[in-house]
Structure 1
Amino acid sequence: MEPIGHQTGRLAAFDSLRSNVAGTLYEAGDPGYAELATPWNVAVRTSPAAVLEAATADDVVQAVRFAAANGLAVAVQATGHGIASDLDGALLVHTRQLAGCTVDPGGWARTGAGVTWKTVLAACADHGLAGLCGSSPGVSVAGYTSGGGIGPVARTFGAASDRVRSFDVVTGDGRLRHVTAKSEPDLFWGLRGGKSSLGIITTTEFSLLPLPYIYAGALFFGTDSVADVTAAWSQWCPTLPPEATTSLGLMQLPPMPGVPEPLAGKFTVAVRYVYTGNADDGARWLAPMRAAGAPLIDAVQTMPYSMIGLVHSDPEDAMPASEASCLLTDFSADAAETLVGAVGPETGSPQLLVEVRQFGGALSAEPEIASALCHRDAAFGLYSVGVAAPPELPAVADHAAGVQSAMNAWQFGASLPNFSAGGGAAGFAASYTPDVLARLSGLAAHYDPDSLFRLGQVPAR
């Protein structure tokens, strides 16, 4: 076959893929290409050689085999939240049409790779069941879970990846495999935390929890309360039982539709809170934070678990963003004071949000079936996101790096897979211990002999 980079050969080669798939293949310039190739972070300019909107799992098989025959890298996207590479010359497999979602009242679900947590939450609501989604239910189950999945009830129930029963995945050798802890234990280990480095997941089957209601929401405080609330939160966290999961957000929300008037255009601080026990106990545990200042908004209440996305109210629309994250060993009073000094109201910080998430509880326990998810012993996570016109984003990123430097005394020295997309290969590597990274690399060499998934950022072999 003529080299794929030659215009005539390129068209002929892709025509052969078109004839073997039920889905639609888009090349640059085709209507639909730009929409499917663009990630959630629109500041990342992608230029894949083509995008296959897969309609079946066999389409994914054909795409991987085609890429191997033509020397192309392969990447995957559902909602686009994990894409940070330009994908130059790659074959991008878009999975939004793999939209099957089955919820069994007996306590499990099976979802296609294009299914978001929002769909799962809605399907579970009538059965009083809960899936361990993240703070943003608009992301895909497959992408979130393969990165470990640490969400708003992680201290109570651990990581989403620990609830997986099986995957269907297309590996780099072009095989569609049904993977369980018994059938292929090594691959099952790596897919739970290894992100997209070992293959393209087409379906995920996972256990659900009987949790129809939660006591949850957020307290919002004004600019004058930022230092006091942050300090109080740092002292309150160590007192909490595992039924409570919380995070603190220092925010500068723009005046735009959907932003409550008391918060719009102001520097505020939010205490996010989910309690999985009864509401009276949840209110009792939250009382010290309600007394830490005069809330502008108190939105903590009993709610259906299906509404858990309201706790963080993360934006769903695509935007140009700069993201940074790290893990912390502690968030003491000194750490709280340092953070406010770095990004507080008087600093001129360009960050839209700087968030500290408390970990521990069930998350810190090793699961019954081991996985590639590392750093369970980190006490907190620090995450920042800034939104600006693309020419201004490098300055936002430099500022975020300065914030992390200011927090060096409490740095854990690592990150998590779902928060490391913007860090490139170095960020991916920091998500794992050396032993786990070496094992992932070995699995990639075995299941992906042609390094088709090299954009998954496992070290080059």
Structure 2
Amino acid sequence: MNRLADRVTGPVLAPRDEGYDEERAGWQTARRHRPDLVVGAAGPADVQAAVAYASGRGLPVAVQGTGHASAAVAAEGGVLITTARMSAVRVDADAGTAWVSAGTRWDQVVHRAAQAGLAPLSGSAPRVGAVSYTLGGGLALLSRTFGYSADHVRGLDVVTADGRLRHVTRDREPDLFWALRGGRDNFGVVTGMEIDLMPVTTLYGGALVFPVEKAAEVFGAYLQWAATVPEAMNSSVALISLPDVPAIPEPVRGRHTVHIRVACAAGGPGTGERLVAPLRAIGPMSDTLGELAYAEAGSIYNDPVAPGAVESGTAMLGEIDAAAVQAVLDLAGPHAPVPHVVELRHLGGRLAHPPAVGNAVGNRDARYLFNVVSRLERADIARIRPAHARMFEAITPWSTGGRFLNFMNGENAATQVRSAYDAADYRRLTDLKAVYDPENTFRLNHNIPPGRGLIRG
């Protein structure tokens, strides 16, 4: 440990050291890392030193930015690299790109890009780490319009299991470039990435909120509406159980409600107003739709900022109908013994198209993403997990069998990784894992084990 500390600019902490608990903490509190060492990396050289130290001793390595999606934890014996100190953003307005360091949050990228009249393909929660989100695929607010965030990566700096810092692009180590974009942290620790920015300054967005008594009507109308909208329209519908606490505004505090969230990227406010008219006709109890700066787009979903203990699951769906909606509502309505957030995100559009430069993101034929999220502060895990299992069983007739990596952090996440990829792509990923990480040093994650292939980068 002392030799590693001499080579690292940031802190190197063991469980007995002051600051250890703060350094290992992330947004997700249900599963906490407890490694033998935490390295608070201040730059790529620190990451190289930490990976070399771990690899030389046969220790597993985990990496954490904001800690929103802990699929596996760095248990005793492992090394955790935290990247929050690496938060630089450089925007090239002329090229329409940004360079983003490993620990940067999306809100930091959004702020810098907005100064140049541009926007990144960030998600609904602005405080999520940009790099890990993108490596997992990245389902952005505007992904139906522009594609997955991973589709718009131009280059990556990554420290592989041999301790080398590599710069990879479509032309330089193309196999590794392909695998990282969708393979998350299985192939190394990404210390920075170059991404495309979009010519977006404003959008038409917000939320329509309905009483739960209209749930079946709202979900049914939403499905009919979603089948007709252009790629410019991005949306989701969710059944949400809100706690009775002062932080929740009236009139939705302590109620079950149905939310339709909208982000329309083109055509100005007139286009958005016209497109959402059929949904407004249902009669929402709250309506925040309007033109807003992209920098304020986090207000559309209002995802929680404070850390929390969350159990969640996800499934990719094909075409769905009223029977699918009823199957969900039967298990997730006000009568449900466990409070949930149950959501359908509309896919299709540019998401269904292969990117200009291929990557490992799978399940592009899915029409909807189904999520169920429960906070452990509101129910016991022994009740939540069976409730989730019943819900996923109920939607099986409409499932494609696939899942999405960014939302996969429940009990069975480790065994479901294969379902995030097309079969041939998964085989290629295991072959590449054997090349770049044959000892599976990076295994405390949504793990892809090494195969026996002979692909060379």
1:401 corresponds to which residue? 389
Distance 1:39 1:85 in 2: 13
1:336 corresponds to which residue? 325
Distance 1:139 1:272 in 2: 19
Indicate which of 412, 421, 424 corresponds to 2:413.
424
Indicate which of 277, 286, 296 corresponds to 2:276.
286
> Are the equivalent residues in 1 in contact too, given 2:205–2:300 (CA < 8 A)?
yes
Within a 5 Å distance, the mapping from 1:124-163 to structure 2 comes to 124-163=113-152
2:62 corresponds to which residue? 75
Distance 2:298 2:152 in 1: 20
Q: Aligned letter for 1:78?
A: G
TM-score normalised by L of structure 2: 0.95
Structure 1 residue 281, shift from structure 2 partner: 1.1
2:343 corresponds to which residue? 355
Alignment of 1:414 onto 2:419: no
Distance 1:82 1:62 in 2: 25
Structure 1 residue 79, shift from structure 2 partner: 0.2
Alignment of 1:51 onto 2:41: no
Is the partner of 2:7 in helix, strand or coil? Answer: coil
> Are the equivalent residues in 2 in contact too, given 1:330–1:410 (CA < 8 A)?
yes
Alignment of 1:27 onto 2:14: yes
Indicate which of 72, 76, 101 corresponds to 1:112.
101
Within a 5 Å distance, the mapping from 1:225-374 to structure 2 comes to 225-277=214-266, 278-292=268-282, 294-345=283-334, 347-374=335-362
Going from structure 1 to structure 2, the CA distance change for 1:427 and 1:302 (only over 3 Å counts) comes to: same
> Are the equivalent residues in 1 in contact too, given 2:312–2:373 (CA < 8 A)?
yes
Distance 1:91 1:323 in 2: 26
- Tell me the alpha carbon deviations over residues 246-266 of structure 1, each in whole angstroms, 9 at most, x when there is no partner: 100100111234321111110
Is the partner of 1:130 in helix, strand or coil? Answer: coil
> Are the equivalent residues in 1 in contact too, given 2:438–2:450 (CA < 8 A)?
no
Distance 1:460 1:190 in 2: 13
Moved more, 432-441 or 92-101: 432-441
Is the partner of 2:74 in helix, strand or coil? Answer: coil
> Are the equivalent residues in 2 in contact too, given 1:218–1:272 (CA < 8 A)?
yes
Is the partner of 1:202 in helix, strand or coil? Answer: strand
- Tell me the alpha carbon deviations over residues 426-446 of structure 1, each in whole angstroms, 9 at most, x when there is no partner: 121211122111111111111
Q: Aligned letter for 2:21?
A: A
> Are the equivalent residues in 2 in contact too, given 1:429–1:437 (CA < 8 A)?
yes
> Are the equivalent residues in 2 in contact too, given 1:135–1:152 (CA < 8 A)?
yes
Structure 1 residue 391, shift from structure 2 partner: 7.9
Distance 1:398 1:229 in 2: 27
Can you give the 5+ residue segments of structure 1 that lack an aligned partner in the other structure?
1-13
Q: Aligned letter for 2:291?
A: T
Is the partner of 1:58 in helix, strand or coil? Answer: helix
Distance 1:77 1:228 in 2: 42
- Tell me the alpha carbon deviations over residues 47-83 of structure 1, each in whole angstroms, 9 at most, x when there is no partner: 1111100011010001110001111100000000121
Structure 1 residue 394, shift from structure 2 partner: 2.7
Distance 1:33 1:125 in 2: 36
**Percent identity at matched positions?**
36
Is the partner of 1:204 in helix, strand or coil? Answer: strand
Is the partner of 2:328 in helix, strand or coil? Answer: helix
Is the partner of 2:171 in helix, strand or coil? Answer: coil
Q: Aligned letter for 1:242?
A: E
Distance 1:39 1:460 in 2: 28
Distance 1:17 1:361 in 2: 48
> Are the equivalent residues in 1 in contact too, given 2:62–2:442 (CA < 8 A)?
yes
Alignment of 1:380 onto 2:360: no
Structure 1 residue 460, shift from structure 2 partner: 5.2
Segments of 4+ in structure 1 off by > 4 A?
A: none
Q: Aligned letter for 2:48?
A: V
> Are the equivalent residues in 2 in contact too, given 1:130–1:211 (CA < 8 A)?
yes
Distance 1:217 1:368 in 2: 31
Over the aligned positions, Cα root-mean-square deviation in angstroms equals: 1.4
- Tell me the alpha carbon deviations over residues 334-386 of structure 1, each in whole angstroms, 9 at most, x when there is no partner: 212222222123x3252331110010001100111110000011000100111
Moved more, 31-40 or 113-122: 31-40
Moved more, 254-263 or 145-154: 254-263
Distance 2:175 2:450 in 1: 20
> Are the equivalent residues in 1 in contact too, given 2:311–2:409 (CA < 8 A)?
no
1:5 corresponds to which residue? none
Within a 5 Å distance, the mapping from 1:170-249 to structure 2 comes to 170-249=159-238
> Are the equivalent residues in 2 in contact too, given 1:130–1:208 (CA < 8 A)?
yes
Is the partner of 2:237 in helix, strand or coil? Answer: strand
> Are the equivalent residues in 2 in contact too, given 1:53–1:95 (CA < 8 A)?
yes
Alignment of 1:93 onto 2:107: no
Q: Aligned letter for 1:290?
A: R
Q: Aligned letter for 1:66?
A: Y
Is the partner of 1:210 in helix, strand or coil? Answer: coil
Structure 1 residue 390, shift from structure 2 partner: 9.1
Structure 1 residue 38, shift from structure 2 partner: 2.5
Alignment of 1:454 onto 2:448: no
Structure 1 residue 455, shift from structure 2 partner: 1.9
Structure 1 residue 324, shift from structure 2 partner: 0.9
Is the partner of 1:123 in helix, strand or coil? Answer: helix
Structure 1 residue 86, shift from structure 2 partner: 2.9
> Are the equivalent residues in 2 in contact too, given 1:222–1:296 (CA < 8 A)?
yes
